[in-house]
Amino acid sequence: MRYDVVFHVDEDAAHLDAALTNIRNYYAALPQERFTAVLLVNGPAIKLMGADGAHAQALAEAAGLGLTVRVCRNALRHFGLAPEWLCPVCEIVPAGVVELVARQAEGYAYIKP
Amino acid sequence: MRYDVVFHVDEDAAHLDAALTNIRNYYAALPQERFTAVLLVNGPAIKLMGADGAHAQALAEAAGLGLTVRVCRNALRHFGLAPEWLCPVCEIVPAGVVELVARQAEGYAYIKP
Amino acid sequence: MRYDVVFHVDEDAAHLDAALTNIRNYYAALPQERFTAVLLVNGPAIKLMGADGAHAQALAEAAGLGLTVRVCRNALRHFGLAPEWLCPVCEIVPAGVVELVARQAEGYAYIKP
C-alpha cells in the first residue's frame, strides 16, 4: 500500500482546522508506515499561514510529525504577503495547482477537507 | 474503464445531500457497469448519520443501489456518538483519512461534492 | 510528468472564481507543457454558466487558453435550464460524476477549488 497524500486547503480557518485534525489522525493511524504527507495551501487560506497566526503552533506540531507544508507563491503575491511573514515550516512553491497535480501524477492521493 | 469511486463528505447537510444526488446520478448513468462506490463520512458530517436522522432513508436507498457507506471512528469518538446510534448501513473504519487514501491507492477516483 | 487535470465546481460564484484563478495560474505556470485541463461543473453551480452571466467572459478567456468546459446534463435538467442558455464554450456531458471518474481513471489529477 502506498500512503503518500496531499491535503488541499484554500478557504478559511474551519477548513484548515479540519485538515490539521485529518493530518493528526493520519499519522496516529499509521505509526509503522513510511509515507509523505503534504499540506498544500493556496487561495485566501494563505492568510492563515503567518508566523504569528493562530495556527502557527498546530502547523509546527504537524511538521514535527513529518508533515511537509507548502504554500503557493501566487497566493502570497495576490494577498501582498512577504515570504518572511510565513510560519517557518512553510515551503514556497511557484504555483499551488501545479504542486497538486504533480503529486497526484506521482501517485499521491488527494484529500480536500 | 474503471468506475470505482469514493465520495467524501465531512461538512453539513447540504454537502451530504449533494453527495447523495451525485451517487444516485452515478448509478443511474452506469446500469451496465460493475463497480464499487463508497461514501466516506468524517468530521462534523458524522452527526448526520444517525438511524433516526433526516438522511437515514436516503442512505438506506443508496445502499440499496449498491453504495458502501463508511464512517470514521475518530469522528464518532470526537462527537461522543455510539456505534449503535448510527444508521444500520454504516460500516465503521478506524480512520476516515486512511480509507480515502487506501481506496485511491487501489485506483478509485475521488470526488468531494 | 503528466499534467492533465480536472477542476470540479459544484457550489457558488466564490468557488467558480477560485477555480478560474487556479486555471489561469496553471496555464501561466506551464507554458511549455502539453496537457488537457477540464472544468467540470455540476450541482447548483450550473446556474453560473449562462451566456449572459457574470462569468461568461472569464470562461471564454479560459477556453481561449485551452480549457475544456463541461457541464452536467442532470444539473441542467434539475434547474430547468436549456442547453441554448449556456455559454457557447460549454460542452454537455450526460452525468458530471461519470466525467469526474472517467478522467481520473485515465490518469487526470483532480482538484476541488
Give me the residue from C2, C22, C107 closest to A97, CB to CB. Answer: C22
Q: Which of A97, A98, A100 to mutate to test the interface with C (most CBs of C within 10 A)?
A: A97
pLDDT digits (tens, 9 = 90+) for C42-69: 999 999 999 999 999 999 999 999 999 9
Burial of B39 (0-12, 13-18, 19+ CB in 10 A): buried
**Which residues on A lie below 8 Å from C26 (Cβ)?**
95, 97-98, 101
**Which residues on C lie below 8 Å from B18 (Cβ)?**
10, 43
Percent of chain C with pLDDT over 70: 100
* Complex prediction ipTM: 0.97
pLDDT digits (tens, 9 = 90+) for B21-47: 999 999 999 999 999 999 999 999 999
Q: How many CB pairs under 8 A join A and C?
A: 48
What phi and psi values does residue B80 have, to the nearest 5 degrees? 65, 35
Give the global pTM.
0.98
CA distances from A30 to A1, A61, A103, B73, B101 (A): 12, 17, 20, 15, 12
CB pair distance less than 8 Å for B25 and C95? yes
CB pair distance less than 8 Å for B110 and C105? no
Q: How many CB pairs under 8 A join B and C?
A: 48
Question: Measured between alpha carbons, how far apart are the two ends of chain C, in Å?
Answer: 22
The confidence band for B1, taking pLDDT boundaries of 50, 70 and 90, is confident
- Write the CB contacts of A91 (distance below 8 Å, at least 6 apart in sequence): A68, A69, A70, A71
pLDDT digits (tens, 9 = 90+) for C22-31: 999 999 999 9
Report yes or no: C21 at the A interface, CB cutoff 8 Å.
yes
CB pair distance less than 8 Å for A102 and C28? no
The confidence band for A73, taking pLDDT boundaries of 50, 70 and 90, is very high
- Nearest chain B Cα distance for residue A101, angstroms: 14
Report yes or no: A112 at the B interface, CB cutoff 8 Å.
yes
Burial of B26 (0-12, 13-18, 19+ CB in 10 A): buried
Cα–Cα distance measured from residue A2 to residue B107, given in angstroms and rounded to the nearest whole number: 11
pLDDT at A1 over 90: no
CB pair distance less than 8 Å for A94 and C29? yes
For C32, other C-beta atoms within 10 Å of its C-beta total 4
